[in-house]
Copies of this chain bind each other. A is one copy, B any other.
Amino acid sequence: MNFLEAKILADGVVKPGNVLKVDSFLNHQIDIRLMKKIGEEIKRRFSDVEFNKVLTIESSGIAIASAVAYVNEIPVVFAKKGQTVNSTDDKYVAKAYSFTHKKYNEIFVSKPYVKPTDKILIVDDFLADGEASAALIDLVKQAHAELVGVGIAIEKGMQPGGAKLRAAGVRLESLAIVESMDAESGFIQFREQES
């Protein structure tokens, strides 16, 4: 069992409706020492490839993308949802369905921040149905940048996102893959991974 799996068992809470609540350390309150270790572990798992930029999506991806960027000393770009008056640039736009908010979100990045010469590592806190990752990959493709891979803290292995990405030939590294969980007993089983 790795450090993130151990943390999930210790402080994660399984809720009805297939919800794994980790907001005491990952996506509301952030355990910054844990986040550093996540950044280092994602760096380690992608140590055989080069990348010069980390791409994520607001909001909860920002902290983990920053952690990966810190240990690699490279910039983060976070895709934004919706539009603001401050975003007058040309943009790449993609659509992602949010099961949490039950609607389609348009996400975008300003064109100057994802270039054809960029080698991009996509990073996010969760992978479930894979909608956010697919939309981020779409942005990378539109920019004709190179996708190096996708680094995830927690993959919900019983949802199709991970399988879809792997079938599409995307290099996916998930630090913890939840194989099954049960709200009544609180039981969480992880997929075995080579360490």
A residues neighboring B (CB under 8 Å): 15, 17, 19, 21, 23-24, 28-33, 35-36, 58-60, 62-63, 66-67, 69-70, 73-78, 80, 84-88, 100-101, 109-110, 112-113
Contacts and interface: CB of A to CB of B under 8 A. Distances in A.
Contacts of A63: 62-63, 66, 76
Contact of A100 (B30, B31, B85, B100): B85
13 contacts: A17-B85, A19-B85, A23-B86, A23-B87, A28-B87, A28-B110, A28-B113, A30-B78, A31-B75, A32-B73, A36-B70, A59-B62, A62-B62
Contacts of A28: 77-78, 80, 87, 109-110, 113
Contacts of A113: 23-24, 28-29
A32 B23 CA distance: 24
Interface of A is mostly: mixed
Instruction: Give this chain's copy count.
Output: 2
A86 B69 CA distance: 27
A63 B75 CA distance: 12
A59 to B, nearest CB: 4
A178 to B, nearest CB: 15
Nearest to A35: B66
A58 to B, nearest CB: 4
A59 B77 CA distance: 13
Contacts of A77: 28-30
| Residue from A28, A60, A77, A101 whose CB has the most chain B CB atoms within 10 Å | A28
